[in-house]
Amino acid sequence: MAQLLEGARNLGWVLLNSFLRFIFVFINNCVAIPSYCLYCILLQPLRVMDSRTFWLIEGIMFKWMLAMVSQWGWVAGYTVMEWGDDVRPLSEEEAMVIVNHQATGDVCTLMMCLQDKGTVVRKMMWLMDHVFKYTNFGLVSLIHGDFFIRQGKAYRDKQLIYLKDHLDRYYHSRDRKWIVLFPEGGFLRKRRETSQAFAKKNSLPHLTHVTLPRLGATQVILKTLGPQQENGCLGTEASTVHRSQSGSKPKGLQWVVDVTIAYSKARPMDIQTWIFGYRPPTVTHVHYRVYPIKEVPVETKPLTDWLYQRFVEKEDLLAHFYETGAFPPPKGQKEAFSRAMTLDPVQLCVIQFLAFASGYLWYSVLQYFYCRLF
């Protein structure tokens, strides 16, 4: 009987905690998202006169929005441990970020672990499934200039044309530096069986913890944003000289950041967990590996082989992690070192205060005009 009472008490606490968190997140969205959109509308004259300053202000607000999402998980005890290369020195250089995709929580994890990477968050562009366009955050992403891509053979060719046009129009004009994509093209649980069947048919590696990546979006990004090609690969020297002569044109992509996300006990986290916080506190592990862009081929066959090799390495990393609880050390080293990614609680409190104050301000303004008109 005592155990039943204790279990009921714990269940009641979990339900109450989840309900209160949902109310907080709901209110958070109701004040933050409309404020972001209204400020962007109000600042449209600045966008016409000085677009660089407009996108600077928009980027700061966008980073604050992502910090709020990060806070939802952080308050529930969902933290991030980082491994591998230190990507902070690359925050002001252009990079393509490729990530394995297991669940919707992957996006929340990236939102958290990139918060302390300088200006990366406010200068990044996301490639995500088109269904995210219809979520509460979809309007924010549309204003920011993220790209929503449709999956499936029927849309594939047209989507790649749309992607190239989107990059040409918005990437450099909005001073973007990092572009994030999930080359697998879907969640692990949905694509694993199909990927393994394709691998078996084409004598490719059998993967369990990741799936074989798709080439299309990656190749479009490299060809559109990469520097001048040299012998089938992306070079750096020619583009650097070109920039020094003109003083305005960007260098193009300089790095590929390979991100591998590993969840405790191989249990991916979804966005509902971040919102309701019903899972016990847990640590998500993120591994970085950086490649100079000149090592990356752009032609179809070499790039396919290169991309497949990256995901075979991800498979090995995840297999080692799930077996030992740690990522393997880099080549030439005997021990792997991790570092805890932390959020600044003072900064989070300031952002929340500004969001609620802004929400109240806009409510007061709209109420005033409503009373005057009606």
Condensed to tens digits (0 to 9), the pLDDT of residues 295-329 reads 999 999 999 999 999 999 999 999 999 999 999 98
Q: Would you say residue 262 has pLDDT above 70?
A: yes
- Helices 51-75, 345-373: inter-axial angle, 10-degree rounding: 110
Predicted confidence at residue 330, as pLDDT, reads 84
Cβ partners under 8 Å of residue 269, min gap 6:
78, 103, 105, 108, 109, 263, 279, 282, 284
| Residue 227 confidence (pLDDT) above 90 | no
- pTM exceeding 0.75: yes
Q: In this structure, are residues 91 and 119 in contact, taking their beta carbons and an 8 Å threshold?
A: yes
| pLDDT score recorded for residue 222 | 95
297 contacts 306 by C-beta, under 8 angstroms: yes
Q: Phi, psi (5° rounding) for residue 81? A: -115, 130
Q: Is the pLDDT of residue 346 over 60?
A: yes
Averaged pLDDT of the chain: 87
Give me the pLDDT at residue 244, please: 33
Read off the pLDDT of residues 358-370 as tens digits, 9 standing for 90 and up: 888 888 888 888 8
Give the closest residue to 173 by CA, choosing from 249, 116, 113. 249
Average pLDDT of the residues in 195-210:
93
Query: Which residues pair with residue 83 across a beta bridge?
Result: 287, 338
Q: What is the pLDDT of residues 116-127, one digit of tens each?
A: 998 999 999 999
**Predicted local distance difference test score (pLDDT) of residue 229:** 63
* Predicted pLDDT at 261: 97
pLDDT above 70 coverage of the chain, percent: 90
Specify the pLDDT at position 333. 82
